[in-house]
Amino acid sequence: MKKSTIWILAAIMAFAFFGLLYLQIMYLKESIRLRSDQFNEAINRSLLQVSRNLELDQTKKYMYEAFEEAQKKQTAAAYNRSLALRNQLQEETVTHQQKFKVTAPDGTELLKMEYNASSTVQTRPKSQIFQSSGKKGTNAISKTILNMQDEQKKKFLYETDLLNEVANQIINTASNVPIEERINLKGLETSIRNEIKNNGIELPFQYEVVDKNNKPINGQPLLVVHNRKDYYAQVLFPNDPPDKVTYLKVYFPDKEKYLFSEVSFIYPSILFTFILLVTFIIIIYITFRQKRLSEMKSDFMNNMTHELKTPVSTISLAAQMLKDGSITKSPEVFKHISGVINDETERLSLQVEKVLQMSLFEKQKATLKMKELDANDIVVSVANTFQIKVEKFGGNLDIDLQATDSTIEADKMHITNVLFNLLDNAVKYRKEDVPLELMIRTWNNNNKLYIAIEDNGIGIKKEYVKKIFERFYRVSTGNRHDVKGFGLGLAYVRKIVEDHKGTIKAESEVGKGTKFIICLPIMKNSEQLK
């Protein structure tokens, strides 16, 4: 698949994922906004009803007191009238006859009883009930009905005047009463709780009643809110004068939890979408990495063909020259051709060995023959062997063995190859106009053994330092074939070090050189184990 095609598919998938994520976030914001508007409307409606309830309670209180006083006056007047009429009442005996009869289901009379009962009542004289003035007189009953209507009218007008008096009292005098006496704080809290519950909200709240100067009454603690929008305010007794206005402030600490609880189902959806997006990015990264690895393998095959073909061609040409009898007669020419064949054979063998190193990367772990070794001895042995090659280029190789505890468990062949590969890289990437300076140093720290190989070569750019341990990776210099190789040396080094439960890192600066630091665990001696 072409890289452009992968980029197009990646762009489409990324657009779809981000679009889906955007829609989910917008839906979440809109849901929270609607939920917040509904909450605000319900709370404002509840507080308005609380204020109205306070006004109604106040009105009932004044009306009860007024009517109670009026009732006392009416009771006293009625009592006086009853005393005046008592003298006009007559006593009259009234006899009542009662009959009882019990019958059977068939109609037969079983029991029959009769008795007379008498009682004494007080009545008005007949002269007060009916008065006649002859032919021109008016019926006394009609006159009585008219009198009763007049009494009802007077009573209605009295009660109307009483209501007006109560209303004027509330308007003119209620605001002069201290607010502490007009409001029952405990009852106010109950009213708030009931009203918000009636609107479908059951949340803990804090409240306070303050005057126009925002001073709480009855020593209430002032609500600690960071924003004006965090609490709800409602005017109590709106008909009070402006200088005596009172406010009710209510704060809901769990408002945010309440708003988000209704849309909590959207969070898993956003999380899963985000996981899919991250997974997609990882897949795209792996795809491009595999493609780059494939390109590096192709470059490796081209380099390998070139590296193997050259020594084979040289050996073939030398073999053909040896067939010439005139050449074999000259000892010097024969020696030269033999040397060429030997050098190219060693070169070919080295290249084949490096190609075979690829098999290590196909395994989870290399097959190592672990033995107890002295790292300082290995460093000295490698340095003595490599010294000749360094001197060939006019360089110098120094060693500094500071490690006092250098016993490790390792595969001698592979550890030796690691050191050789690092030294060989230093020779490859040396400065042509500056004598090569190599330093191998060992030391101990935190029960670890450190081996450092430092050179004064051309160095590596910072963006390439982390990549040099990847398979088939070669810096631009190597890719131009002025330095031969397959990009396997440092990858092999890292794998062997990690298989020995160690670590390796590189420090480099362009124009100043490169340092490789290997960290390996120290093998405990017998005295430490006891």
Kindly write down the DSSP assignment for every residue of 73-135, as one continuous string.
HHHHHHHHHHHHHHTT-EEEEEEEEEEEEEE-TTS-EEEEEEEEEEEEEEE--HHHH----GG
| Domain-located, residue 501 | yes
Q: How far apart are CA 10 and CA 30, in angstroms?
A: 30
Is there a single domain that holds both residue 230 and residue 307?
no
Contact 46, 195 (CB under 8 A): yes
- In this predicted structure, the answer to whether residue 71 has a pLDDT above a threshold of 90 is no
| Domain-located, residue 30 | yes
| Domain-located, residue 119 | no
Residue at which a domain ends, from 264, 291, 323: 264
- Please give the average per-residue pLDDT across 257-264, as a whole number: 78
pTM above 0.75, yes or no: no
Mean predicted lDDT score pLDDT of the chain: 75
Is there a single domain that holds both residue 518 and residue 374?
yes
Is there a single domain that holds both residue 308 and residue 331?
yes
| Domain-located, residue 270 | yes
Is there a single domain that holds both residue 391 and residue 324?
no
Is there a single domain that holds both residue 470 and residue 388?
yes
Q: Which residue has the higher pLDDT, 489 or 85?
A: 489
- If one counts the domains in the chain, the total is 3
**Residue 353 half-sphere exposure, CB side, CA atoms within 13 Å?**
11
- In this predicted structure, the answer to whether residue 44 has a pLDDT above a threshold of 70 is yes
- In this predicted structure, the answer to whether residue 521 has a pLDDT above a threshold of 90 is yes
Instruction: Give the residue carrying structure tokens 């005596």.
Output: 244
Is there a single domain that holds both residue 260 and residue 309?
no
Q: Which residue has the higher pLDDT, 302 or 432?
A: 432
pLDDT digits (tens, 9 = 90+) for 209-248: 888 777 777 655 555 555 556 788 888 887 777 777 888 8
Kindly write down the DSSP assignment for every residue of 422-476, as one continuous string.
HHHHHHHT--TTS--EEEEEEEEETTEEEEEEEE-SS---HHHHTTTTSTT---H
- In this predicted structure, the answer to whether residue 356 has a pLDDT above a threshold of 80 is no
Is there a single domain that holds both residue 258 and residue 327?
no
| Domain-located, residue 395 | yes
Is there a single domain that holds both residue 226 and residue 287?
no
Check residue 481 and give its pLDDT.
40
Is there a single domain that holds both residue 275 and residue 379?
no
Helix (H) or strand (E) holding 209: strand 206-211
Residue 223: domain span: 1-70+147-264
Is there a single domain that holds both residue 397 and residue 506?
yes
Is there a single domain that holds both residue 273 and residue 401?
no
Is there a single domain that holds both residue 295 and residue 226?
no
